[in-house]
Amino acid sequence: MKKYLLSSFEEGPTKLFVGGLHGKEGLYTAPILVRLAKEELYSGEAIIVPSIVEDSKYIDILSEEYYRSKEGIDLIRLIEKYKPSFYFELHAYGKQSYSRLTDPEREKRIGVPPFVDLGEGILIGSIAPILRSEFSENDFCMTIEVPNWKSDKVREEILQILRLALSKEKREDVMSELRMRYPTQIKKAEELFRQYYRNRLKPF
């Protein structure tokens, strides 16, 4: 597992960016996160793991089984070691999974809210509830799903979002910038988050 550590002189939050959590999605997340690791503008400390696993059996991260697999254990260890207050998880999906991931009935079906499309198939949402319990209330945790059939332009847009998270010191600054760029989509994503966590947590 390749890991990049970025550390600025100024104090700031610890941020963990991970990709490639299962299956072969690392093929799509790693190039984006490797580019993020080359960024020079950041605050605090960042740990960037382009791909937790290169090629593994696909185990759903919503399942408990995942956290017993090698990749799941590696992920938990990273979180325990660095105790990040910003946590960004990058996945990749194929065209055929779009309707399943964005299904308005997803919560009824599998117990978690649907992802919201920022446009161009870039999906955002909360992280797996099992994993969210590893973090504290004030931590900032988000999942981004990369559409694996899209062009470089879309990957560039995802990189822009990650750069925002890397450079800002406060979660509220990241969120307000995202609200400006994607007003209706972020409103929807925040609404879904609040409904799901019944206002016990602040999105995200």
Decide: is 91 part of the binding site for Zn ion (CB under 5 A): yes
> Interacting stretch for Zn ion, rule CB under 5 A, among 1-9, 68-76, 84-92, 102-110?
84-92
* Nearest residue (CB) to Zn ion, 25 versus 71: 25
Distance from C-alpha of 67 to C-alpha of 178, rounded to nearest angstrom: 30
Q: Which helix (H) or strand (E) holds 194?
A: helix 183-197
Q: Which two tokens stand for residue 198?
A: 């019944």
Distance from C-alpha of 176 to C-alpha of 97, rounded to nearest angstrom: 29
8 A C-beta contact, residue 165 and residue 86: yes
* Binding residues for Zn ion, total number by CB under 5 A: 2
For residue 202, count CB atoms less than 10 angstroms from its CB and return exposed for 0-12, middle for 13-18, buried for 19 or more.
middle
- The mark string for 124-153 relative to Zn ion (x by CB under 5 A, - otherwise) is ------------------------------
User: Minimum distance between the CB of residue 30 and Zn ion, rounded to whole angstroms?
Assistant: 13
Decide: is 28 part of the binding site for Zn ion (CB under 5 A): no
Scanning residues 62 to 81, which ones bind Zn ion (CB under 5 A)? Answer: none
> Interacting stretch for Zn ion, rule CB under 5 A, among 22-30, 47-55, 152-160, 172-180?
22-30
Enumerate residues 6+ apart whose C-beta is below 8 A from 120.
147, 150, 153, 154, 157
User: Minimum distance between the CB of residue 83 and Zn ion, rounded to whole angstroms?
Assistant: 23
Site residues (vs Zn ion, CB under 5 A): 25, 91
